[in-house]
């Protein structure tokens, strides 16, 4: 019988001695063959500690995962109609996407959110909106997940009162509130208050739900947005588990019994295109959480059991050749299923460009239904358990993630690590490295940097009329305020502020204010009076992108171009990277700032959440040559033309404005007519973006040669 040495000799002969080891971004050396010798840990059985093989003994053979599609757009009426159509077509649970104004604690009539209302989720300003959102959907029968962190207190309060006015008491409510603020400070940035009061909010929600909402998950600890921001799977795994440990410690410190609330904690992971790594990651997460909770003193096995929702990757979706996204989502959905998720959202094919249409949402939903009902995949519990490769990979992920977790704990926990900034820096370095590998063609994306089509076919996308939605929301806010008992409302808001200054339970006080028809912005402001509003300034990483391009001829052409412009101007060309509106997703902006800095540009990074007027002022004061406006939340048609108008009014129409991010092709002409001089959508090669900006600044930049064009 052949042994491993016989195999190695034969394989070496077939590949002429080429090393087949795959060195992953996680720092894992994946071998081309795994055997029983590589399995050093017994994963146990499904339903039993450490739950590596699943949290239920029967898993999907007994009951498949919940199909929980994440959706919300425009008005509560529109979103409600969308939910009801999807539920009728086989969806089993709801997952609410809120617009950015809501996330950031602003009512729709606030001047800072003009371009954000209803654009990337549903606008919720009061209980009245929440009641409409769930009209005809019995909340004692429907599990509801809400992706909300910043304005978590008013949104959860509105949900509780909307249910109450349906005749449903809090103890009957099932679902999840994300409520994961540490992740927001690292990557997604939809925070409102500073870290300490934000952590108090979480503890208050733990306490309220433990007493009043026993079936409701009080937090969904999210690694999803970390991977979307560029984290490797090891980083996503480690920081998510470490966040969970921090929340547990805060809950215990606030006086809660660990086993009273820990069983209602849930998790949320991204599922990307590294198929086996994602399967192993979910298995490793369950192993790690069992270990962590044992260390933290949990006695109940339920407290040590990691239950998770998953969502297929948004960042893996591409604008180019978008029907490839259907296949990407299918592969990712299979990884989530084989990893043992409890619920799943599958992204629609057009989400790299715009909000999903009914057509694309149906394909995304049916992807799950087909896997559940046509393939036989659900009939065996943990079908990859015992795979030499999967078991070895699970163990490697556990070990590598635990090293990072131990560093976090040795430095005082995740809150201190987030304040120090090193987890965010690690993730941004990983993102810059990934972008460089894609731009160089080392990481293949079909239809983007390989097998690219000569001409893209247009696809129909959903467009929200921001002005119409905002006007409708403002009218409803006005009616709500006119119809309430103002004295009772103001008294409830004052009690909330006093509670925030003292030790009152913030959710309980907000429920009282919501019942009196206080708006989301008023409830947020009542707490802001006590806590203040938090803001940060991005700090781009240096050297990661540039080092990946050492010796590259096209990269050198750009460096030479920057040097030539520098000689002509007497200074380096100056680019201002602007994030306007309430969109906190800053991966793209950070990558551009880092890469352009490495190429020799003088890069000015603005704070998040600027208005166009504030961005204009900063551009003028810093004497920039160009503004790169990053837009990922559909505000580009409002915010960028407004910025150009302000620049003209300031006498600086000479400043070039370019745009990047999630911008549908059909909007390009509109933006160009408004004065935008370059538009760079998902999949754009950053080196070529820089070359284009140099052309705009008057440099005779040579075009990419044929070989480079073929690689793009």
Residues belonging to the active site: 70, 224-225, 579, 583, 585
Distance CA 40, CA 478 (A): 65
Tell how strand 343-345 and strand 656-661 pair up: unpaired
Phi, psi of 222 (to 5 degrees): -105, 120
Q: CA end-to-end span of the chain, whole Å?
A: 47
User: How would you label 258-289 residue by residue, b for 16+ Cβ within 10 Å and e otherwise?
Assistant: bbbbbbbbbbbbbbbbbebbbbbbbbbbbbbb
* Residue of 93, 94, 100 whose CA lies nearest to 79: 94
- Which residues contact residue 412 at a Cβ distance below 8 angstroms, ignoring those fewer than 6 apart? none
* Residue of 301, 297, 288, 300 whose CA lies nearest to 223: 288
SS3 of 99-151: the string is: CHHHHCCCCCCCHHHCCCCCCCCECCCCHHHHHHHCCCCCCCCCCEEEECCCC
Tell how strand 343-345 and strand 66-71 pair up: parallel
Can you state the angle between helices 233-253 and 422-439, rounded to 10 degrees? Answer: 160
**Cα dihedral 256, 261, 262, 268 sign:** negative
What residue has token string 């992920």? 397
- Which residues contact residue 81 at a Cβ distance below 8 angstroms, ignoring those fewer than 6 apart? none
CA-based max dimension of the chain: 87
Asked if 678 and 630 count as a contact pair (C-beta separation under 8 A), the reply is no
């Amino acid at each position: 019988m052949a042994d491993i040495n016989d195999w190695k000799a034969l394989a070496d002969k077939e590949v002429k001695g080429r090393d087949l080891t795959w060195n992953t971004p996680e720092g894992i050396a994946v071998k081309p063959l795994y055997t029983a010798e590589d399995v050093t840990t017994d994963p146990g059985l499904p339903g039993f500690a450490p739950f590596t093989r699943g949290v239920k003994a029967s898993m999907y053979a007994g009951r498949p995962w919940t199909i929980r599609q994440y959706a919300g757009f425009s008005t509560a009426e529109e979103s409600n109609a969308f939910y009801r159509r999807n539920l009728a077509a086989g969806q089993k649970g709801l997952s609410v996407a809120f617009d950015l104004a809501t996330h950031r604690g602003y009512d729709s009539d606030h001047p800072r959110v003009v371009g954000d209302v209803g654009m990337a989720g549903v606008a919720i300003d009061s209980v009245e909106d929440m009641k409409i959102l769930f009209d005809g959907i019995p909340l004692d029968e429907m599990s509801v997940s809400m992706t909300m962190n910043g304005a978590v207190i008013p949104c959860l309060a509105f949900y509780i009162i909307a249910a109450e006015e349906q005749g449903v008491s809090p103890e009957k409510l099932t679902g999840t509130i994300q409520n994961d603020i540490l992740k927001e400070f690292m990557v997604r940035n939809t925070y409102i208050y500073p870290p300490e009061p934000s952590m108090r909010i979480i503890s208050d929600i733990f306490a309220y739900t433990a007493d009043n909402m026993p079936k409701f998950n009080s937090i969904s600890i999210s690694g999803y947005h970390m991977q979307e921001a560029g984290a490797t799977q090891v980083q996503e795994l480690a920081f998510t588990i470490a966040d969970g440990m921090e929340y547990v410690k805060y809950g215990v410190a606030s006086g809660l019994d660990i086993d009273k609330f820990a069983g209602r904690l849930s998790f949320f992971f991204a599922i990307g295109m590294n198929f086996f790594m994602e399967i192993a990651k979910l298995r490793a997460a369950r192993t790690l959480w069992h270990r962590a909770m044992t260390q933290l003193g949990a006695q109940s096995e339920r407290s040590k059991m990691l239950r998770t929702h998953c969502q297929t990757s948004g960042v893996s979706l591409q604008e180019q050749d978008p029907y490839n996204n259907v296949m990407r989502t299918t592969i990712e959905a299979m990884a989530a299923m084989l990893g043992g998720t409890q619920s799943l959202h599958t992204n629609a094919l057009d989400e790299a460009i715009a909000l999903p249409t009914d057509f694309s949402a149906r394909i995304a939903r049916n992807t799950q239904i087909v896997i559940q009902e046509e393939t036989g995949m659900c009939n065996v519990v943990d079908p990859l358990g015992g795979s030499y490769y999967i078991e070895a990979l699970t163990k490697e992920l556990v070990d590598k993630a635990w090293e990072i977790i131990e560093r976090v704990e040795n430095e005082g926990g995740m809150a201190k690590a987030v304040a120090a900034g090193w987890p965010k820096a690690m993730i941004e370095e990983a993102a810059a490295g990934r972008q460089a590998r894609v731009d160089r063609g080392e990481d293949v994306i079909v239809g983007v940097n390989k097998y690219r089509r000569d001409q893209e076919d247009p696809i129909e996308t959903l467009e929200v009329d921001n002005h119409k939605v905002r006007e409708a929301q403002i009218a409803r806010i006005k009616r709500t305020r006119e119809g309430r008992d103002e004295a009772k409302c103001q008294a409830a808001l004052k009690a909330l502020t006093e509670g925030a200054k003292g030790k009152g339970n913030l959710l309980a006080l907000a429920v009282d204010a919501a019942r009196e028809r206080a708006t989301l912005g008023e409830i947020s402001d009542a707490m802001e009076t006590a806590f203040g509003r938090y803001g940060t300034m991005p700090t781009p990483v240096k050297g990661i992108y540039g080092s990946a391009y050492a010796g590259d001829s096209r990269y050198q052409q750009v460096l030479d171009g920057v040097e030539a412009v520098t000689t002509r101007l007497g200074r380096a060309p100056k680019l201002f990277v602007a994030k306007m509106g309430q969109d906190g997703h800053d991966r793209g902006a950070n990558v551009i700032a880092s890469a352009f800095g490495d190429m020799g540009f003088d890069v000015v990074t603005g704070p998040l959440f600027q208005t166009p007027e504030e961005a204009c002022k900063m551009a003028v004061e810093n004497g920039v040559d160009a503004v790169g406006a990053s837009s990922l939340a559909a505000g580009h048609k409002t915010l960028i033309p407004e910025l150009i108008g302000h620049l003209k009014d300031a006498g600086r129409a000479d400043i070039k404005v370019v745009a990047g991010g999630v911008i549908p092709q059909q909007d390009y002409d509109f933006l160009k007519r408004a004065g935008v001089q370059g538009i760079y959508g998902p999949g754009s090669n950053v080196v070529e973006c820089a070359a284009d900006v140099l052309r705009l600044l008057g440099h005779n930049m040579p075009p990419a040669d044929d070989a480079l064009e073929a690689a793009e």
